[in-house]
Amino acid sequence: MPLVATEAVVLHTFDYLESSRIYRIATRDAGVLSVLAKGARRARTRYGSAVDLFAQGDVRLSMKPSRDLQTLVGFDVTRARPELAAVPGRITAAAALAELMMRFGGEEPAPAVYDALVAALDAVARAACGAAADAGLAGAWHLIARLGFGPSVDRCGVCQRPVPDAQPVPFSHPVGGVVCDGCVRGLPTGRMLPPPARLALRAWLAGEPSPAGNDAARRAHQRLLREFLAEHLTDGRELRAFAVWERAAWDAA
Ligand SMILES: [Zn+2]
């Protein structure tokens, strides 16, 4: 079986049988994969000192294209990200990013997507108390843009005419972006995007940080993001980490 060496981040982990563990990982060169770490709970040295959620490192995989579960041969952790647990709000934002990657990341190599995920997790891990949600929003929209289904924020998603910035504009989930006054008739009612929210969304899609605004604006952004993702899901399963992330923001407010 071909041996693949690449870089990876742990998105999800669960114990398997008596001594093994299954990881869902995002890799730089082989997409999002499930890998079996045989005996991982017994011989931890083989897989680095501690491979935990959101850990990043160099992996060696034994790959068989026809198989759903690949085999993890080695994992040298280069970045464990313990700081995600140090400040409230970071871990729920990171979990939402991991869920986004697991639900929308493919099995084909996508280094630019992987790099956006790593940058997003690092930004959340660095975020000061109260700023983790903004870092999560920024990272999620940048990831969406890199995954190739970012919404249109400058031009009408229907007729492609530029939509002026001066006033709130309708945002349509089925269309996948802002809609001009002429095209909005006949569409299901969407959200109204005020100018500051549109500015933030534009920056985030380009991979630039931008504050979400006050708590109400932040919650509106989280709702918009979750609804946008739900519109693009094909299996109808709930985005559980996003629901927890939103509730956590409510509790913290
Ligand atoms: Zn239009």
> Computed over its alpha carbons, how large is the radius of gyration of the chain?
19
From the CA of 224, how far away is ligand 1's center (Å)? 20
Give the per-residue pLDDT at 42: 74
Give the per-residue pLDDT at 45: 56
pLDDT at 199 > cutoff 50:
yes
Token code pair at residue 151? 């919404």
Q: Residue 143 — very low, low, confident or very high, per pLDDT cuts 50/70/90?
A: very high
pLDDT digit string, tens, across residues 173-188 = 989 999 999 999 888 8
From the CA of 203, how far away is ligand 1's center (Å)? 22
Give the per-residue pLDDT at 109: 92
pLDDT at 62 > cutoff 60:
yes
Averaged pLDDT, 35-51: 71
Least-confidence region, from 2-11, 140-149, 214-223, 231-240:
231-240
From the CA of 118, how far away is ligand 1's center (Å)? 36
Give the per-residue pLDDT at 126: 95
From the CA of 190, how far away is ligand 1's center (Å)? 15
Q: What does the DSSP assignment read for 180-219?
A: -HHHHTTSPP-EEE-HHHHHHHHHHHTT------SHHHHH
pLDDT at 250 > cutoff 80:
no
User: Given the DSSP bridges, would you call strands 32-37 and 69-79 parallel, antiparallel or unpaired?
Assistant: parallel
User: Given the DSSP bridges, would you call strands 69-79 and 169-172 parallel, antiparallel or unpaired?
Assistant: unpaired
From the CA of 109, how far away is ligand 1's center (Å)? 35
Q: What angle do CA 186, 191, 195 make, to 5 degrees?
A: 115
From the CA of 181, how far away is ligand 1's center (Å)? 7
From the CA of 186, how far away is ligand 1's center (Å)? 12
From the CA of 160, how far away is ligand 1's center (Å)? 6
From the CA of 158, how far away is ligand 1's center (Å)? 5
Averaged pLDDT, 52-66: 93
Give the per-residue pLDDT at 251: 60
CA 23, CA 47: separation in Å to the nearest integer? 12
Helices (DSSP H) in the chain: which residue ranges? 90-104, 111-126, 132-147, 181-184, 195-205, 215-232, 240-252
Q: What is the pTM of this model?
A: 0.93
Give the per-residue pLDDT at 224: 95
The mean pLDDT value of the chain amounts to: 91
Token code pair at residue 227? 């609804």
Give the per-residue pLDDT at 55: 95
Q: What angle do CA 52, 54, 55 make, to 5 degrees?
A: 60
Averaged pLDDT, 6-14: 96
CA 226, CA 237: separation in Å to the nearest integer? 12
From the CA of 184, how far away is ligand 1's center (Å)? 7
State how far the alpha carbon of 170 is from the alpha carbons of 141, 163, 209, in Å.
18, 10, 23
The three-class DSSP label of residue 164 is coil
Least-confidence region, from 37-51, 83-97, 122-136:
37-51
From the CA of 94, how far away is ligand 1's center (Å)? 36
From the CA of 180, how far away is ligand 1's center (Å)? 4
pLDDT at 58 > cutoff 90:
yes
From the CA of 178, how far away is ligand 1's center (Å)? 9
State how far the alpha carbon of 61 is from the alpha carbons of 6, 19, 75, 167, in Å.
8, 19, 9, 52
Q: Residue 44 — very low, low, confident or very high, per pLDDT cuts 50/70/90?
A: low
What's the distance, Cα to Cα, between the start and end of the chain in Å?
52
From the CA of 110, how far away is ligand 1's center (Å)? 32
From the CA of 185, how far away is ligand 1's center (Å)? 10
